[in-house]
Structure 1
Amino acid sequence: MTLPKVAFIGTGGTIASMGATSLELQDYGASGVILQADALVARYPELGMVADVVPVRHSAVPSPNIDFADWKALNARCEALVAEHPDLAGIVIGHGTATLEETAYFLNLTAKVAVPIVLVGSQRPASALSSDAGMNLLNAVRTAASPGARGMGVLVLLNDEIHAARDVTKTATLRLQTFRTADFGVLGHADGDAIAFYRRPIRAVAPDTEFDIRGLDALPRVDIAYAYAGADGTAVRAFLAAGAQGIISAGFAPGMATPGDFAALQEAAAQGVVVMQCTRAGSGRTHKGKRLREAGFLITDNLTPQKARLLLALALTKTRDPVEIERMFLTY
């Protein structure tokens, strides 16, 4: 029996980290030991029972270090792997959970390969007693190799659950069930006997998107102004001074800023900065009511602030037309 070929790109994170002891579940980063892709694959020989895994060294860093340069490099690496291995069934990217959802959504907007891309992490380091690293990695490989994953865009796999990159977010600091899709639930499950899908994303997904970052050196600056009682616009004005071309207002649910922030955001919009109203709630749509319309603000649909920031930055590489930007937020 010929096993499917799946590439595993390692970027580091908890899934590749080694603590000082098997009981080090939180401060494992202090050891400074993060395995490269080939070492992590070698740690779990069971991977060879489900796929021909091609380990690809990329980086070995905590995920707060990830930024645009890494996303661009990951896109290029995925394209090179597909060109090098015409029989490649899918790609798995090991990633720290802190920014995993942002990397997944960014790739979902920009990747140009047709094979499934699955991001995987873990809540406990590879060295820990009862680590989730091995099973998560195995199930991510199985998911990437599954014919059912084709056409689903970039996926996220942790805790036996398969999520859409657009919708998933990390909801707990330590619990294994941290990744959740609040409004819609999982796409499917990685069970012992099968990769079982039950629904599909209906928003546009990679590779069928309009964004191409291959010729970009950087993204337009977009910042997030987080709402809290008494916020007086200081952060918004600092973002303006730093050269922000877009600002996401992570407002109170269902999408409101304090008077101080609202006034500063109006100043930003008057200066040509694209201001978009979001909510800090983590779930639910924002509504473009009269007050937002009159202020010239746009809305982010139901995206979380961190994902709305990415989509706006990519939108600004193509247009500043508010109608076009709103179309993109309804498309992706």
Structure 2
Amino acid sequence: MNKPLVAVIGTGGTISSVVDDSLDVLNYPDISRKMDSAEAIARIQETERFAQYVTLPFRAVGSSAILPSDWIELAQLIMRTAQERPEIRGFVILHGTATIEETGYFLNLVLKTDKPVVLVGAQRPASAVSSDVNMNVLAAVRTAIDEQAIGKGVLIVLNDEIHSARDATKTSTYRLQTFRSHDFGLLGHVDGDRIEFYRSPVRKHTLESPFDISEISVLPRVDIVYSYAGADATAVDAFVAAGAKGIVSAGLAPGIPAPLERKALERAAASGVLVVQCSRAGSGRVARRQYLCDQGMLGSDNLNPQKARILLALALTKTNDPDKIQAFFEML
């Protein structure tokens, strides 16, 4: 019986890191060697019990070095491979945890396929004692070939948990249970006997998303300004001067910037910069209240600032109309 075929793409990160000291779970980001996808998957022979795999070359860097241009290239690689190799059951992307949620959400919005696309990371390098790499990769492979994963959008799998890329966020620097989907919870579990899903995403994604990677070659500049007690206009004015087409305000909960920062955002919006009001709280919805409507600003719904930035950048490739962009935030 032929095993299903999985495409494995390596982008670097802790999951692909090796150092000489098996007790190094702290200094490795600065000194480790990054394995490519072929070497990384070959170390985990147990994957062959579940699937055949083909490895696709990409770059191997720490995820703090991932750029929007990398997102575009990665999405193009996935779509090109899906079209050229229809026999591929799903995709597994080895990725650093620092920005895995951003890469995942971008892919969730631009890929035009219902094939499972699973991003997987690790909190301890592959060379470490009690590394979580092997089990996480096995869980990702098993999820990618499971029929229940078809049509659920881009997924993030770590620590035997399956999350929607839209909802998942990293919540701890070192702990294995770092990923959480705050408002609505995870989608399912990877257990020893089977994959079990308990809910499905309801926001539009992949095939139903209005964005298509075939139509995107570059993203406009969108920056995030972080609110704190006493924040002034400095950051906002600097972003506008740098050419930002959009600014996401990570405001004080429930979505309110400091007074001087607020005035700067009003000036930015009046100059044509699209401003999305978000919250630094990390969960909860920011509605487009009357003040935001009057200023031509937007509410982020329940997206965190880094994901609101991605959606705003994509939206700006289609329109500058605040009402139309707000509709994207309420459907995606």
Query: Shift of residue 227 of structure 1?
Result: 0.3
State the partner residue of 1:27.
27
Deviation per CA, 1:37-58: give whole Å up to 9, x if none: 1101111100000111212221
Please tell me whether the aligned partners of residues 114 and 152 of structure 2 are also in contact (alpha carbons under 8 angstroms). no
Output the CA distance in 1 between the equivalents of 2:222 and 2:331. 20
State the partner residue of 1:170.
170
Higher mean C-alpha displacement, 277-286 vs 47-56: 47-56
Output the CA distance in 1 between the equivalents of 2:330 and 2:290. 20
Please tell me whether the aligned partners of residues 76 and 213 of structure 2 are also in contact (alpha carbons under 8 angstroms). no
State the partner residue of 2:56.
56
Q: Secondary structure at the match of 2:55?
A: strand
Corresponding letter in the other structure for 1:94: L
Please tell me whether the aligned partners of residues 11 and 58 of structure 2 are also in contact (alpha carbons under 8 angstroms). yes
Relative to the length of structure 2, the TM-score reads 0.98
State the partner residue of 1:203.
203
Relative to the length of structure 1, the TM-score reads 0.98
Please tell me whether the aligned partners of residues 254 and 287 of structure 1 are also in contact (alpha carbons under 8 angstroms). no
State the partner residue of 1:82.
82
Output the CA distance in 1 between the equivalents of 2:245 and 2:328. 17
State the partner residue of 2:231.
231
Gaps of 5+ in 2: none
Q: Secondary structure at the match of 2:56?
A: strand
1:1-332 correspondence runs (5 A)? 1-332=1-332
Output the CA distance in 1 between the equivalents of 2:287 and 2:5. 45
Corresponding letter in the other structure for 1:28: Y
Query: Shift of residue 29 of structure 1?
Result: 2.3
Query: Shift of residue 79 of structure 1?
Result: 1.8
Q: Secondary structure at the match of 1:319?
A: coil
Q: Secondary structure at the match of 1:59?
A: coil
Please tell me whether the aligned partners of residues 12 and 63 of structure 1 are also in contact (alpha carbons under 8 angstroms). yes
Query: Shift of residue 296 of structure 1?
Result: 2.5
Query: Shift of residue 321 of structure 1?
Result: 1.1
Corresponding letter in the other structure for 2:119: L
Corresponding letter in the other structure for 2:41: V
Query: Shift of residue 287 of structure 1?
Result: 2.6
Please tell me whether the aligned partners of residues 19 and 29 of structure 1 are also in contact (alpha carbons under 8 angstroms). no
Corresponding letter in the other structure for 2:214: R
Query: Shift of residue 108 of structure 1?
Result: 0.2
**Identity fraction in percent:** 54
Query: Shift of residue 215 of structure 1?
Result: 4.3
Output the CA distance in 2 between the equivalents of 1:164 and 1:32. 30
Output the CA distance in 2 between the equivalents of 1:70 and 1:268. 29
Output the CA distance in 1 between the equivalents of 2:223 and 2:273. 11
Give the root-mean-square deviation of aligned CA atoms.
Answer: 1.1
Corresponding letter in the other structure for 1:54: V
Gaps of 5+ in 1: none
Q: 1:85 to 1:217 in 2, by over 3 A?
A: closer
Output the CA distance in 2 between the equivalents of 1:172 and 1:242. 32
Q: Secondary structure at the match of 1:113?
A: coil
Q: Secondary structure at the match of 2:175?
A: coil
Aligned pair count? 332
Query: Shift of residue 87 of structure 1?
Result: 1.3
Output the CA distance in 2 between the equivalents of 1:73 and 1:294. 38
